[in-house]
A and B are shown apart, each in its own frame.
Chain A
Amino acid sequence: MTVRDDAWAKCCGKAGYMDELSFPGMLHVMVVRSQLPRAGIRSVHVPAVASGYYVIDSTDIPGRNVCAILKQDFPLLAEDRVSFAGQAILLIAGPERDRILEINDGIRIDYEPEEPVITIEDAEEGRIPPVFGTDNVIASIGFERGDVEKTFIESARVFEDEFRTGYQEHLYLETLRAIAVPEEGRMTVYGPFQIPDIVPVAVSIPLGWNTDRIRARVTTIGGAFGGKMETTTQITCLSALAAYVTQRPCSIVYDREEDITTTSKRHPSRIRIKSGVDQNKRVRAVKMDIDLLGGACFGSSAVVLDSSVKMATGPYRFENVSVRGRALATNHIMPGATRGFGVVQTTFAIETHMSHVARQLGIDPLDFRLGHVLKQGDRTSTDAVLRDQVKIPEIVKSVDAMSGYRAKRGRQAGSDATVKKGIGIALYSFGAPHTVKGTLRARPRPLILRRTGSGDVVILTTITELGQGIVTVFREIASRILDIPIERISMDNPDTDRDPSTLGTGASLGVTLFGKSVERAARKLKDRWDEPGEIEVMEDYVEPGYLEWDDKRVVGDAFHTYSWGAVAVEVSVDLLTCEVQVTGVWAAHDIGRPINDRLAEGQVDGALVQGLGFGLMEVLESKEGILQQSRLRDYTIPTMRDIPAIRQFFVINPYSEGPFGAKSVGEIPTIGAAAALGEAVADALGIEVGRLPITPEYLLDLVRAKEASS
């Protein structure tokens, strides 16, 4: 199998990351940030600074004081008030870091503290003056199919649950950074940009320049997971502002603490589910209320919420469905795009609820869920017909064969007096790519294949390599079509001056949508191969003609297609410490037909562990608007010792519209791990889990409550 072309350079630590980059005369820039979650700024005292050092505030911004994310409602530098702890107020630029810190020590900001909006309840109650608009509602979206309330009345039994999940930090190993270099009336910005195309637009606003004066050059990205999408705009705009003011190359590097406390994360959530079950023990109606805890501005919460709502009911078919979602503003940093995109939270909720209902009905939770799984020809919650085969039964069979789930389930709890074992399984799906047909998001997203005079092929695109292996996959696709060795095909880190705007990497659409563009371009190039000299073929993405989508009514094919999966997680729980140890992980996925098994398996391994970290140990809490964990010492992610070997399998189900039958793999394996973990803990202890992460403290509460009630 093909070895990725960046492997050796990465082993040597010389793969072109930001931290290998430096420019003559480059200044370091420090961001001075708000210490309070909500306050007016009475005054800012800046000490006299030595020549060559600069303190920059909002009045130095030549254009508009805006950091563009989706809407332009977020000030790049705070003016007279701050809305979250960590909000940027000033920049200090200069050649020596120690001197910059001395200047920072001399800065005094006099605040007028106000009561912050902290929780989802604060945001919806309206007792505290709103952070956003008149009601803190950043975005709301919802739909109903059938008649939910009427069905509840007719139901034999009705069940209600409430679920909560916390923040999850992306924790890419390479922290955020940016360098801006002023050059002959233009500004070149370097950074690990997941979506390069948004960078020139964002930088153009505070500079007040046309976008063609800004060039974004992507450096090799040291992990992203959604955290280097919209989040890169702020640090890049700040470095560009500093470079504009100083007329020197300016570098901003966040250390881990600054990265954790000031950049986006997975949205915390509160999800309420009510379901009505008939006399045949079938769920006839489901109502879901999804509330995501947003930040102080619009951010990208609306987009994350969109996926939460559209995928809320998981891989199940319910005749009557009502889903309502809101993203609510609070005085916190803006959460944002994070692998799994709002579906990790909803899947935990629907999976746990379904199992909970099954137990109360005295039915095996897996059988109960399998009985409600969508089938080919069924309609999804957004009323899309599932055109392709749904291979959840085969997926579950595969996971059961690997894990021994059915043999182990419910039989391990009594095995030891102080250590209880349990096993759980989660079923899930993830829609990708999003259908953009007929929406404002529909615009050309081309990429180019260039055959050089020497017969090599270069792929020109702003799709970014995050580590997932997209470069290798695109080269493999082109190599298979053109029938030339993969070594003769190359794809570099994007440069917005050179490459067509393909968009960037995100939302699990790289392989399925743009890999297909590579395939089509390669076919055209092959037809023209005998032409002399250089040849270029440009290809835009194509959405399948049969898709129908009504954005306003939330009806139709919300996604082109769906990937499907199941994961079984086995745990042992120490009753004395309430610590959970993961002892087994087995997963199977239908991602169509993978282009490169090894890379696809790597995506699954990493995503499963990220999902388990979210479910088990990654605690990030706000106390009065201040994040209580800020370093790797207190925000712990899974180490090699915390996780066992993972076994996995792909159920092949070629997707006719994907390149060589491929569907998306980047996000789906993140979706179900925490839900399966919760089920395993429930199996071990005979309790119902309602919150993530499942910390020893939370588990102790559950165990005590169970003891008290029995």
Chain B
Amino acid sequence: MTIAFVVNGRPVVLETDPLRRLIDVLREDLGLTGVKEGCGEGECGACSVLIDERPALACIVAVGAVEGRHVVTIEGYQERDLFRKVASAFSETGALQCGFCTPGMIIAAGALIDACSDPDEETIREALSGNLCRCTGYNRIVQAVMRASRETKEPSSL
């Protein structure tokens, strides 16, 4: 079956089984290996991508379901100003260790900052509870998200 969608701003047309997992199409057919697989059942958040600007888990979405839609992976997301702010906050706060959860965590964190300009700790812990990290104990991730959200607010307040 022919499936047409947009990935990181570029139109993609694929001849493939519509039931294939989006993560496999992104990683294997399109070489977007920044999409990480941690569990394969929507429990860990490592494969977080944006579908029409809303966070989604690429391991539990069939590629047929993104027909005509816009998918953004970390490869496309890193071109954004918000990525630079969140990634800088993660790097400088020490919010990453092994880094395997980090691309998905950053996409989820960015989506939260987009949706809520000044999230408090409870909001962050609730919103990102679908993204697992085994290394950091989450402490510094929460701090990094707060820092990034503060920094995104600054230009608009000038």
Contacts and interface: CB of A to CB of B under 8 A. Distances in A.
Contacts of B74: 11-13
Given A222-B99, A641-B126, A13 B36 contact: yes
Contacts of B139: 605, 645-646
A643 B140 CA distance: 12
A609 interface: yes
A640 B99 contact: no
A223 B140 contact: no
A152 B134 CA distance: 44
Nearest to B91: A7
A11 B43 CA distance: 20
Interface in A5-31: 6-15, 17, 19-20
Contact of A255 (B40, B75, B87): B40
Contacts of B78: 11-12
B46 to A, nearest CB: 6
Contacts of B155: none
A601 interface: yes
Interface stretch (A364-372, A462-470, A701-709): A462-470
Nearest to B17: A98
Contacts of B135: 223, 467, 602, 606
A634 to B, nearest CB: 10
Nearest to A257: B40
Nearest to A170: B134
Nearest to A11: B87
A641 to B, nearest CB: 4
Interface stretch (B3-11, B27-35, B50-58): B27-35
A171 interface: yes
Interface residues of B, number: 51
A220 interface: yes
B18 interface: no
Contacts of A6: 99
Interface in B115-149: 121, 124-126, 128-142
A174 interface: yes
Contact of A13 (B40, B43, B103, B129): B103
B135 to A, nearest CB: 5
B134 A223 contact: yes
A387 B117 CA distance: 54
Nearest to B124: A640
B87 A173 contact: no
B125 A640 contact: yes
Contact of B39 (A170, A256, A642): A256
Given A12-B74, A14-B34, A643-B137, A173 B98 contact: yes
A387 B34 CA distance: 49
Interface in A336-369: none
B134 A637 contact: yes
B82 interface: no
Interface string B59-95: 0000000000000001100100001001100111010
Given A12-B74, A632-B39, A173 B134 contact: yes
Given A606-B134, A645-B142, A222 B100 contact: yes
A638 B141 CA distance: 14
User: Would you call the interface of chain A mostly helix, strand, loop, or mixed?
Assistant: loop
A187 to B, nearest CB: 24
Interface string A168-199: 00111111000000000000000000000000
A170 B74 CA distance: 26
A633 B34 contact: no
B136 A602 contact: yes
B100 A605 contact: no
Contacts of B35: 13
Contacts of B94: 4, 598-599, 601-602
A477 B113 CA distance: 37
Nearest to B86: A11
B41 A633 contact: yes
Contacts of A637: 132, 134
B22 interface: no
Contacts of A279: none
Interface string A454-493: 0000000000001111000000000000000000000000
A522 interface: no
A632 B78 CA distance: 28
A22 to B, nearest CB: 9
Contacts of A222: 36, 98-100
Contact of A605 (B43, B125, B136): B136
A161 to B, nearest CB: 30
A256 B103 contact: no
Interface centre among B27, B40, B46, B102 (most CB of A within 10 A): B102
Contacts of B96: 7, 10-11, 467
Interface in A189-243: 220-225
Nearest to B136: A606
A710 to B, nearest CB: 37
Contact of A606 (B34, B39, B137): B137
Nearest to A192: B98
A631 interface: yes
Contact of A640 (B46, B87, B128): B128
Nearest to B107: A13
A632 B128 CA distance: 16
A602 B97 CA distance: 8
A642 B136 CA distance: 14
Contact of A639 (B106, B124, B130): B130
B125 A174 contact: no
Contacts of B138: 605, 609, 638, 640, 643
B92 A610 contact: no
A640 B91 contact: no
A255 B101 CA distance: 16
Contacts of A17: 33, 36, 100
A3 interface: yes
A13 B136 contact: no
A173 B41 contact: no
Contacts of A15: 99
B49 to A, nearest CB: 11
B99 A220 contact: yes
A13 B78 CA distance: 10
A11 B90 contact: yes
Contacts of A632: 38-39, 41, 43-44, 132
Interface centre among A170, A606, A643 (most CB of B within 10 A): A606
A401 to B, nearest CB: 19
B97 A173 contact: no
A273 interface: no
Given A19-B33, A640-B129, A8 B41 contact: no
B34 A646 contact: no
B134 A172 contact: yes
A25 B132 CA distance: 34
9 contacts: A7-B91, A12-B75, A13-B36, A14-B34, A467-B99, A602-B97, A640-B124, A643-B138, A645-B121
Given A220-B99, A225-B134, A604-B137, 11 more contacts: A3-B92, A17-B100, A19-B37, A173-B46, A174-B38, A256-B38, A256-B40, A467-B97, A632-B39, A640-B128, A643-B137
The list of the 4 closest CB pairs from A to B, nearest first, reads A13-B34, A10-B99, A467-B98, A222-B100
